[in-house]
A and B are shown apart, each in its own frame.
Chain A
Amino acid sequence: MTSAIEVSGLTMSYGGREVLRGVDFDVRAGEVFCLLGPNGAGKTTTVEILEGFRRRTGGTVSVLGLDPQAQPTRLRERIGMVLQECGFPRQARVAELIDIWRSYYRQPRDLADLLQAVELTQDRKTQVRKLSGGQRRRLDLALALAGDPELIFLDEPTTGFDPESRRRCWAAIENLRALGKTIVLTTHYLDEAERLADRVAILAEGRIQIAGTVRHVARQAGISTTIKFTAPERVRNGTLAPPASLAVAVRGDVAVCTPASTAVSADTALRDLLNWAAANDLGDLEDLSVESPTLEDAYLQLVCPPAGERPRVPTVTAPPPDAAPALDAAPALDAAPPLDTAPPLDTAPPLDTAPPLDTAPPLDTAPPLDTAPPGDRAAEPAVTGGTR
């Protein structure tokens, strides 16, 4: 697959402060790529270099085959951006503004099509200053798509959205991917990255710490799969020892099991558990569930490991940070992992509880997105996460 973006040895210093210390990654054409990292890690700097807003200190960058700092205008013909907190000319009307934006490009997308895609057909004659917050975010997207770009940068596109609006923004992003567009996403919402991204990269301390598919990243973080079931009496009172391959903790009436060592795969652990249950006449283990580590678990482990514990990345299979390979370099890791072979019990990763996107209402029939109270950041997973 061809690369839409190739970044190699990218460095950036402000004054004497080194913000990027050799960033390497590729974004493949047609994929959703998500750049994650704590505040101040250099995400915005990296994206601004890719967009041609900032001149890099060193390294090579190719975006759609162009050098962003040498050919910014040619590049902007082919990319679209949704930036945070960018205002609008307030007195312009919606359709008028989208239309003049279209005139900036040589191969614009159809006006009616754009209005429909962002559900602003009804509001086409409304002045921008009269739009609600949600409508403005949709106008943001319409302007970013005005030039029918091949590559779209989305900087925290759902910040401040209510759950329904987020879900529909996700649907819009998936639609763009279905059209063959490449999407680079930055977000603080790890469930969003998990849901949308074909691949993610975690940027911290000026380098890509880890990159790959969500599953690959989760596995590399070294977080084990958790198996839970309602603990039978003999397990609760300690008269029945668990299988040797599992470490078991009883919390209330729930037995929480993790593989006793990294050498034990999740499917081995599960098989051992079921065999152990059968051998001890425990019957069907009640409320049995298998929980794979989420991206959020992995992120927290990698970016802010518990006190006294070093980040897990540079161990075992992951390359050291300063030799972080281009993302393409790890295809074998994307192959079916052991966790995939676990029987689909009543496993309930949080995201699966959401209705699948293909059953979500299409954008043009769904109710308006603008019911979101602005600035609702309380639900940010980084705050509540790590407790699953």
Chain B
Amino acid sequence: MTLPLTPLTLGEARRRTVLLAFRQALLEQRSFWRSAEYALFTFALPLALLLLIGSTTAAGDLPGTHVEGQMIFVPSIIAFGVIVAAYVNLGAKLATLRHDGVLKRIRTTPLPAAAYLSGVLGSTAATTLAITACIMTLGALAFGAVPRTSGLPEIAGGLLLGVACFGALGLALASVAGSAESASPIANASYLPLAIMSGIFDPTFPVPHWLSAAVGLFPVRALAQILQQGYTPVEHAPVTDLFVLLAWTAGAGAFAAWRFRWH
């Protein structure tokens, strides 16, 4: 016979939430790698773009500078990998889980929402880290693009903030998407044009001044620029990028907290 449950103290409840989030992240990771196709193509997209574009348009110095194109392009693709894993895939995955009733099933248990979502985000962070490691390795081997030693904090900070920001946007995306089918089109339509305008695939992509200023308000170029700092010092204001990312993280997080639905 079960004993009556005593309410947990705040500290106990927090420790339990962290432990449960960790277990959830482990299960999510194991499940991710078991779905070989899904895992393969999550990695294949940024790596294929890295090799295809990197060996053609991004080769040589950027026009009018002594900055090698690869040193801008490789971190841009890292940003792209973060966006795909944390925003597109996470958003579509949560929309699908909701459609399939998995999220409702989770809500039938006493698992705190924070523990579940942290676990899913933690797993997304691990996937993002693995993709980043592959892009950095391939970038170094294929194009000799190696980050500055003093730029590692920018890369680590950029990744952390990038996962937080685009993970929050992924949650917001899942909140907006009315169905599992609509999540991917919404994701692609929202980030791809921005990625092109932000020069992710071609650092020399010409955009009018006003459009460049507008694109600067979005988190895609902000993340790319912070990561580019890790490879080569470039002329821009990283503090502005930092604020852009933080603002989008807070905004998307608040929106998700308001609108996220479990069923």
Partner-B contacts on A (CB < 8 A): 51, 53, 73-74, 76-78, 80-81, 83, 85-92, 96, 100-101, 103-107, 127, 143-144, 146-148, 150
Bound Cα distance A148, B105 (Å)? 16
Bound Cα distance A92, B30 (Å)? 8
A-B contact pairs, 11 of them (CB 8 A): A74-B5, A78-B5, A83-B105, A88-B102, A89-B31, A90-B31, A91-B32, A92-B27, A96-B27, A100-B24, A150-B2
Bound Cα distance A73, B111 (Å)? 8
Residues in B neighbouring A74, C-beta threshold 8 A: 5, 7, 110
| With known contacts A103-B23, A107-B2, A77–B101 Cβ distance under 8 A | no
Contact B102 A51 (CB under 8 A): no
Which of B2, B20, B104 is packed against the most chain A CB atoms within 10 Å? B2
Q: Is the interface of A mostly helix, strand, loop or mixed?
A: loop
- Nearest-neighbour CB distance to chain B for A307, whole angstroms, equals 39
Residues in B neighbouring A104, C-beta threshold 8 A: 20, 109-111
Bound Cα distance A92, B97 (Å)? 13
Contact A77 B110 (CB under 8 A): yes
Contact A103 B20 (CB under 8 A): yes
Contact B110 A85 (CB under 8 A): no
Bound Cα distance A199, B263 (Å)? 31
Residues in B neighbouring A107, C-beta threshold 8 A: 2-3, 5
Bound Cα distance A100, B32 (Å)? 16
Instruction: Choose from B2, B5, B20, B105 the contact partner of A88 (Cβ within 8 Å).
Output: B105
Q: A53-B263, A96-B30, A143-B105 are in contact. List 7 more A-B contacts (CB 8 A).
A: A77-B110, A86-B108, A88-B105, A89-B97, A91-B32, A92-B27, A147-B110
Which of B7, B24, B107 is packed against the most chain A CB atoms within 10 Å? B107
Residues in B neighbouring A147, C-beta threshold 8 A: 109-110
Residues in B neighbouring A80, C-beta threshold 8 A: 108
Contact B108 A91 (CB under 8 A): no
Contact B109 A87 (CB under 8 A): no
Residues in A neighbouring B111, C-beta threshold 8 A: 104
Interface string of B25-40 (1 = CB under 8 A from A): 0010011101100000
Bound Cα distance A51, B32 (Å)? 31
- Nearest-neighbour CB distance to chain B for A97, whole angstroms, equals 8
- Nearest-neighbour CB distance to chain A for B63, whole angstroms, equals 47
CB-CB nearest 9 A-B residue pairs: A87-B100, A91-B31, A86-B101, A104-B111, A104-B109, A76-B110, A86-B105, A91-B34, A81-B108
Contact B109 A101 (CB under 8 A): yes
Is B112 in contact with chain A by the CB < 8 A criterion? Answer: yes
Residues in A neighbouring B263, C-beta threshold 8 A: 53
Residues in A neighbouring B35, C-beta threshold 8 A: 91
Closest residue to A128 on the B side, CB-wise?
A: B31
Bound Cα distance A21, B7 (Å)? 35
Bound Cα distance A73, B5 (Å)? 12
| With known contacts A73-B112, A83-B104, A87-B101, A100–B23 Cβ distance under 8 A | yes
Residues in B neighbouring A106, C-beta threshold 8 A: 5
Closest residue to B115 on the A side, CB-wise?
A: A104
Contact B23 A89 (CB under 8 A): no
- Nearest-neighbour CB distance to chain A for B185, whole angstroms, equals 22
Contact B110 A83 (CB under 8 A): no
| With known contacts A78-B5, A100-B23, A105–B110 Cβ distance under 8 A | yes
Contact A83 B102 (CB under 8 A): no
Bound Cα distance A88, B31 (Å)? 12
- Nearest-neighbour CB distance to chain A for B17, whole angstroms, equals 11
Residues in B neighbouring A86, C-beta threshold 8 A: 101-102, 104-105, 108
Residues in A neighbouring B2, C-beta threshold 8 A: 107, 148, 150
Closest residue to B119 on the A side, CB-wise?
A: A100
- Nearest-neighbour CB distance to chain B for A130, whole angstroms, equals 11
Residues in B neighbouring A103, C-beta threshold 8 A: 20, 23
Instruction: Choose from B20, B100, B101, B108 the contact partner of A76 (Cβ within 8 Å).
Output: B108
Bound Cα distance A76, B109 (Å)? 6
Bound Cα distance A143, B104 (Å)? 13
Residues in A neighbouring B7, C-beta threshold 8 A: 74
| With known contacts A77-B5, A106-B5, A127-B34, A83–B27 Cβ distance under 8 A | no
Residues in A neighbouring B5, C-beta threshold 8 A: 74, 77-78, 106-107
Residues in A neighbouring B108, C-beta threshold 8 A: 51, 76, 80-81, 83, 86, 144
Closest residue to A149 on the B side, CB-wise?
A: B2
Contact A89 B104 (CB under 8 A): no
- Nearest-neighbour CB distance to chain B for A59, whole angstroms, equals 23
Closest residue to B102 on the A side, CB-wise?
A: A87
- Nearest-neighbour CB distance to chain A for B2, whole angstroms, equals 5
- Nearest-neighbour CB distance to chain A for B71, whole angstroms, equals 38
- CB proximity to A under 8 Å, residues B67-102: 97, 100-102
Closest residue to A106 on the B side, CB-wise?
A: B5
- Nearest-neighbour CB distance to chain A for B117, whole angstroms, equals 14
Bound Cα distance A144, B105 (Å)? 9
- Nearest-neighbour CB distance to chain B for A89, whole angstroms, equals 6
Bound Cα distance A205, B27 (Å)? 45
Bound Cα distance A96, B2 (Å)? 23
Bound Cα distance A53, B112 (Å)? 15
Bound Cα distance A90, B32 (Å)? 10
Residues in A neighbouring B112, C-beta threshold 8 A: 73
Bound Cα distance A35, B194 (Å)? 54
Bound Cα distance A203, B104 (Å)? 25
